[in-house]
Amino acid sequence: MRPWRSPGVNRVELAVFAAGVGALALAFAGGALVALRDWHRVPWASLNHMSVVGDLRAAGDLDRAIFELAAEQRINTSDVRSGLKLASLLSETGNPGSVDVLRLASENSLDARVHLRYAAKLAQLGRFDEVEVAVRRAEAFSTGSPDLWLIVGDMYDKVYRPEEATAAYARALEIDPDSVHARRALQRLGDGAPAPGEEVR
């Protein structure tokens, strides 16, 4: 690798090459010093960079854990799991930003469960118009299993919205007439009864 000895190599290109390689060499030297100072415990931390968040949480440094997870969300929007982790951590610390993080996670996900988590958060905050939209999106991504409506029913039940909860449990029962969960919930909410001869246990 001796470009200066190669015939026909342009001087400008050679100068840019020297600058690039020089900058990288300096960055490697500087990076090595920082790595030795701050991150000596994991020699390949960057290959499993989210483990750093676990380490920070374990060390009780929640602010830095949040800082790193937020950074992940700025660039890697496709990593919904770290978005959910960030939302949990923000909730833990009473930070109101968790709902926005969940919104972003749901906007980046084809997973009904992520949309339901966002819906549950909105329900906690009493933003029921937005809950409806989130549930509709969750439905679009669901596989048609009754579980979605059971979760929605539980979510409304938890925030004392019996009408919406009843409607959700009824939809679960429509999909799976044998759903004990839905029958029991409907019975409790006073809008449903066990099938004749069937006892709900």
Partner 1 sequence: MSAAVPVTGTASSIGVVGRAFVHPVFDLLVIGGGLSLLAAPLIVAMRTGTHDRALTQIIVPLLLIATSTHFAASTVRLYSKPGSFQTLPVMTMLFPALSFAVAGVALYSPELIGRNLYLLYLSWSPYHYAAQTFGLSSMYAARSGMPLQGVERRLLWWTCMLPFAHAFLRGARTGLGWLLDPVFFAEHPSLLALRGSAESVVAVAIFVVPIVFFAWVRWRTGRLLPLMVLSLLASNGVWWVVLQYYEAFVWATVFHGIQYIAIVLVFHLRDHPPTEDSRAAWVWASLKFYGVCLLLAYLLFDVWPYFFTALGFSFTESVLVCVAVINIHHFIVDRGIWQIRKDSGNRRAAET
Interface contacts to partner 1, rule CB under 8 A: 1, 3, 6-10, 13-14, 16-17, 19-21, 23-24, 26-28, 30-35, 38-39, 43-50, 52-53, 67-69, 71-72, 74-78, 80, 106-111, 115, 136-137, 140-141
DSSP string, 79-90: -HHHHHHHHHHH
- Least separation in angstroms between residue 187's CB and partner 1 is 32
Residue nearer to partner 1 on the CB measure, 20 or 162:
20
Residue nearer to partner 1 on the CB measure, 27 or 193:
27
Q: End-to-end CA distance of the chain, in Å?
A: 77
Residue nearer to partner 1 on the CB measure, 46 or 145:
46
Separation of alpha carbons 170 and 194, rounded Å: 13
The SS3 call for residue 179 is coil
Q: Is residue 115 a contact partner of residue 141, using CB atoms and an 8 Å limit?
A: yes
- Least separation in angstroms between residue 191's CB and partner 1 is 28
Residue nearer to partner 1 on the CB measure, 71 or 195:
71
Q: Is residue 185 a contact partner of residue 157, using CB atoms and an 8 Å limit?
A: yes
DSSP state of 195: P
